[in-house]
Amino acid sequence: MSRLAAAFALARAQNRAAFVAYVCAGDPDFDTSLAVGRALLANGVDVLELGVPFSDPLADGLTNQLAAQRALESGMTAGRVFELVRRLRETSEAPIIFYTYYNLVFANGVAAYVQAAKDAGVDGILTLDLPPEEAGEMAAACRAHGVDTVCIVAPTTPDARIAKIAAAATGFIYYVSREGVTGVRDQVAGNIPEAVARIRAQTALPVVVGFGIGTRGQVAEVAAQADGVVVGSALVNCIRDNLANRAAIVPAIAARAADLSAGVKRA
């Protein structure tokens, strides 16, 4: 059983959703990012989703755009991202997935990139802008190296296309609960139960819900319906809000993760 499958199985056995935390690799610098990742994994995070910093993150709102910019300005490269994963693997066997854009994979050679990710300790890759019709080379590389693929379903995705997307995924389905880009919202999107049911009708893979979730109450609301809950911007904001005193970043994000992760428990 893969680390991803084991994490979701454990969450099911404990009658809760899995808590997936997103941060950008290298934000605001390598050492702080390493400490952030370790703090998240020590405070209720089941799956760590690392954004691979990119100059044109089209699916991301301002919070995560600026996080990517900080990481790039600090000197993060593909090699440094892999090194970050290797360092995290020194102390944790929790699943780690990449949230990335296809240019970053393609520019390094698809097979070489996936192999390097696997060698570093990556369990899955979510390639934001790669539709299943164009993903043959990526899917083959992931199969060859035992890396799970994570695919996105949107609120506007019709049932026939959900089936095609689900067939391309091996790790889990990421339901983007809102149209538009990432970012904290005041309320959870509507129709999540119906959307999750539509996806589950097409796949046995776990269904994880993200985009716009930023409070413990919102986590609990989504956890009642989905197999996993993704929180990103609310955690990245802990980094942004403490840039003037970087020593405060890790305690702040650890406390926020512990609070948010408490929401995944079901009644």
Residue range 12-38, pLDDT digits in tens: 999 999 999 999 999 999 999 999 999
When mean pLDDT is compared across 95-99, 170-174, 185-189, 262-266, the lowest value belongs to: 185-189
Per-residue three-class SS string for 246-263: HHHHHHHHHHHHHHHHHH
Confidence of residue 59 (pLDDT cuts 50, 70, 90): confident
Half-sphere exposure of 112 (CA within 13 A, CB side): 7
Q: What percent of the chain has pLDDT above 70?
A: 95
Is 60 in the active site?
yes
Residue range 123-139, pLDDT digits in tens: 999 999 999 999 999 99
DSSP string of 100-130, one letter each residue: E-HHHHHTT-HHHHHHHHHHHT--EEEETT-
Check residues 187 and 226 and name the one with the higher pLDDT.
226
Domain boundaries, position 74: 3-264
Q: Look at residue 111 in the predicted model and tell me its pLDDT.
A: 98
Helix (H) or strand (E) holding 149: strand 148-153
Q: Look at residue 168 in the predicted model and tell me its pLDDT.
A: 96
Mean pLDDT of 223-247: 97
**Measured between alpha carbons, how far is 79 from 65 in angstroms, rounded to an integer?**
20
**Measured between alpha carbons, how far is 24 from 3 in angstroms, rounded to an integer?**
21
Which is it for the CA torsion 13, 17, 20, 21, positive or negative? negative
Q: Look at residue 188 in the predicted model and tell me its pLDDT.
A: 63
As given in the structure block, the two tokens for residue 126 are 């979510």
Q: Look at residue 183 in the predicted model and tell me its pLDDT.
A: 46
Q: What does pLDDT average to over the chain?
A: 94
Confidence of residue 57 (pLDDT cuts 50, 70, 90): confident
Among residues 27, 46, 60, 123, the one annotated as catalytic is: 60
Q: Look at residue 177 in the predicted model and tell me its pLDDT.
A: 83
Among residues 49, 123, 148, 221, the one annotated as catalytic is: 49
Mean pLDDT of 48-68: 91
Residue range 180-197, pLDDT digits in tens: 445 455 556 568 999 999
Q: Look at residue 55 in the predicted model and tell me its pLDDT.
A: 93
Q: How many residues does the chain have?
A: 267
Q: Look at residue 178 in the predicted model and tell me its pLDDT.
A: 65
- Whichever domain contains 174, its CATH number is 3.20.20.70
pTM to 2 decimal places: 0.94
Residue range 83-123, pLDDT digits in tens: 999 999 999 999 999 999 999 999 999 999 999 999 999 99
Mean pLDDT of 158-166: 95
Bridge pairing between strands 228-231 and 124-127? unpaired
Number of domains, the chain: 1
- H-type helices in the chain, by residue range? 3-13, 30-41, 62-73, 78-89, 102-106, 110-120, 136-145, 159-168, 192-200, 216-223, 233-240, 249-261
Q: Look at residue 179 in the predicted model and tell me its pLDDT.
A: 53
Contact 37, 23 (CB under 8 A): yes
Q: Look at residue 189 in the predicted model and tell me its pLDDT.
A: 59
